[in-house]
Structure 1
Amino acid sequence: MEKIKFGNFDNKVSRIGLGTWAIGGWMWGGTDETRSIHTLRTAFDLGINLVDTAPQYGFGLAEEIVGRAIAEHGNREKLIIATKVGLEWESPHKIWRNSTRKRIFQEIDDSLRRLRTEYIDLYQVHWPDPDTPLEETAEALYDLYEQGKIRAIGVSNFNAEQMERWRKVAPLHSNQLQLNLFQQHLLNTDFAYCYEHKIDTITYGTLAYGLLTGKFNSETTFPEDDHRFYKPMFRGEYFLQFLAAVDELKKLAASRDKSVAQLAVRWALQQKGVTIVLWGARRPEQLNDILGTEGWELSKEELERIQQIINEKVTKPLPPKKNPGPPARSSLR
């Protein structure tokens, strides 16, 4: 497994990390804990040593599953656990951002307990919280870092301006940002900032929530407890245009004896400012393509052809998100 220097860690980190949102089951139609643990242990055996999770993924369940899998696998010191902080909830239907110092110090102990560990390798603020001074959040994570409860400080979904403010208060080792072939809008802004300031990045949504696996067709539907049921990307004309693009991308991938998923991940790994790509899985067989992402590169001509396909097939841009992610507390009052 290809590895890279990341943050301030002594051990190099696999350039593909395992994402565990689906393992938590929430918004993915439930989960099978035994199968999920098998998936995690399969990932470790393949050489993946970074696993990314969050309290929100199944409201603690994903962290518990990760903790069990690592306890069974052993070698905790060789693995990188990345989890998140800064969300609060009353129910699966009422979630809001909360990155106050009080909330952070409560969440860290809950996560340590669920993950069965004495420290978290990478602690990331899940979403910016407009109701809490960013400096308060940064200072809280810096205190945890100084205490040894976390080994590196990260954020997620922070823009360049927010990162700049953060760095005036505390170290910033990484930012987790959305990136895939159909959603490249952050490459020239937030990824560029991270590259310029030597902040590592982790990409999420790299397979476009399954679209870039090539397993869907125009007859594919999703149940209401699957978040894709509500995403414009998987509905109507939007869905059909993305499927058409995937069909063309499959042909290009096949010319290299690769799957479209392998092509999509290789593309992401070659983008300027990208350090690590997350591969989401909840069944062991969903990891079969991972090793095929290594040991080769897309040529300049292939990269240009990929962009040409997207430009030709994706003619109806997705509607802009007015307020992506969970709402702020003030909006719920």
Structure 2
Amino acid sequence: MQYRQIATTDLKLSAITFGAWAAGGWMWGGNERKESIAAIRASYDEGVTSIDTAPIYGQGESEEIVGEAIKGIPRDEIQILTKYGMRWDVAKGDFAFKSKNNQGQDIDIYKYAGRESIIKECEDSLRRLGTDYIDLYQIHWPDKTTSIEETMETVAELIKQGKVREAGVCNYNVEQLMEARKYIRLASNQVPYSMVKRDIEKDVVPYCIEHNKSVLAYSPLERGLLTGKMKPGYQFAEGDHRANLYFFKDENLRRTDAFLQKIKPIADAKGATLGQLVLRWTITQPGITIALVGARNTKQAKENARTMRISLGQDEVDLITNELDQLQLMKDA
């Protein structure tokens, strides 16, 4: 495993970081709690020391699972990344969307990052995680009803109190990044990035490179699309949000599979899976510091973690990128 420094901080994260969204079950058609705990522990055994979670994932369940999974591990050997700013228990801030909790009950999700909310969320997260500090505390989504100044100054207070080590953001554009860094030493921006979603290469990545901010790429396998395991006609479990995304319509599954088959010989030559090859390509891209990858069982967890055992030459990276540039997915598929 490689461990990469986050911006100019003394925080280092494993290049493959465990993404615990699916572990919370919410929007993924459920998940087995014991399997999720086992997956996190299997990742750690393979060198994955960093875990990314959030209160909204399962409305606290993901953080509880992470807390249980890390029991017995020396605290300074792991890095906990969590978030704030998405509330399901108050109707305040910027309404985001309607959803259902893991019990099938209707809930409304709000983006809210006001001072009192952040303080409460931090205490709740510390309790669920069973720790007294968070390594990287990130706003989950921009909240247009609260000033960035109020939000960042509140996190700065938490850093002074020792409850948070470093501050990060998620889903921020360049303008928002420029505003946030006026009030706090900003370490990172967590944003969606995959072979089929590369928009951030235009502006966010160049900005972060220039200003020495780390980019944490989430959904690098595009929620399973790029593993090579999904073919036209794939059936999702009830409650799985992917069923309604254009990426997973049959025509796009066909086109993606055709692309993956073109690069499969590279994976085969290295004794790697397609998922590992995709992740390795992702982590070699300019400005991408780490890749957040979810796993629903120990097999997936080990496979993801072992990605860093393979290497790619520049000629192989270029070959993959050239094939990728010919892939076009249909948004109205």
Question: Do both share a fold (TM > 0.5)?
Answer: yes
Residue 31 of structure 1, CA deviation: 1.5
Does the CA-based 8 Å contact 2:216-2:292 persist in structure 1? yes
Specify the SS of the correspondent of 1:275.
strand
TM-score (norm 1): 0.90
Amino acid at match of 1:75: P
Q: What is aligned with 2:125?
A: 111
Question: Are 2:11 and 1:3 equivalent residues in the alignment?
Answer: no
CA contact (8 A) 1:232 1:239 kept: no
Q: Which residue pairs with 2:86 in the alignment?
A: 87
Q: Report the Cα distance in structure 1 between the residues aligned to 2:51 and 2:274, rounded to whole angstroms.
A: 23
TM-fit CA distance, 1:146: 1.2
Q: Counterpart in 2 of 1:19?
A: 19
Partner of residue 161, structure 1: 175
Q: Is the 8 A contact 1:266 1:297 kept in 2?
A: yes
8 A Cα contact 1:7 1:152, kept in partner: no
Q: Is residue 55–residue 83 contact of structure 1 (8 Å, CA) maintained in 2?
A: yes
Report the counterpart of residue 246 of structure 2 in structure 1.
232
Q: Are 1:49 and 2:63 counterparts?
A: no
Structure 2 unaligned blocks of 5 or more: 90-98, 101-106
Match of 1:60 in 2: 60
8 Å CA contact retained: 2:158, 2:164? yes
Tell me the CA shift for residue 219 of structure 1.
Answer: 2.5
Q: How do 1:280-319 and structure 2 match up within 5 A?
A: 280-312=294-326, 314-318=327-331
How far off its partner does 1:9 sit?
5.5
Aligned CA RMSD, in angstroms, stands at 1.7
Calculate percent identity across the aligned residue pairs.
Answer: 39
* Partner Cα separation in structure 1 for residue 177 and residue 118 of structure 2: 19
Candidates 270, 292, 295, aligned match of 1:278: 292
Q: Aligned to 1:186, what secondary structure does the other structure show?
A: helix
Q: Aligned partners of 1:50, 1:295: CA distance in 2, in Å? A: 17
Tell me: CA distance 1:291–1:102, structure 2 relative to 1, closer, same or farther (3 Å): closer
Deviations 1:237-277 (A, max 9, x none): 22322222222232332233321111111111111111111
CA offsets, 1:75-118, max 9 Å, x none? 11211000000011146341120011111111111101100111
Q: Are 1:127 and 2:126 matched, yes or no? A: no
Q: In the superposition, relative to structure 1, how do residues 266 and 4 fare at CA in structure 2: closer, same or farther (>3 Å)?
A: same
Work out the CA distance in 1 between the residues paired with 2:267 and 2:251. Answer: 24
Structure 1 residues 169 and 131: alpha-carbon distance in aligned structure 2, compared to 1, 3 A threshold:
same
- Specify the SS of the correspondent of 1:41: helix
Q: TM-score, normalised by structure 2?
A: 0.90
Q: Secondary structure at the match of 2:199?
A: coil
Aligned length: 317
Structure 2 residue identity aligned to 1:191 = V
In 1, are the aligned partners of 2:231 and 2:253 still within 8 Å (CA)? no
| Contact 2:276/2:304 (8 A) holds in 1 | yes
> Among residues 158, 161, 178, which one is paired with 1:144 in the alignment?
158
* Change in 2 beyond 3 A, CA 1:25/1:278: same
Task: Select 1:194's aligned residue among 183, 188, 208.
Answer: 208
The change in CA–CA distance for 1:99 and 1:122 in structure 2 (over 3 A counts) is same
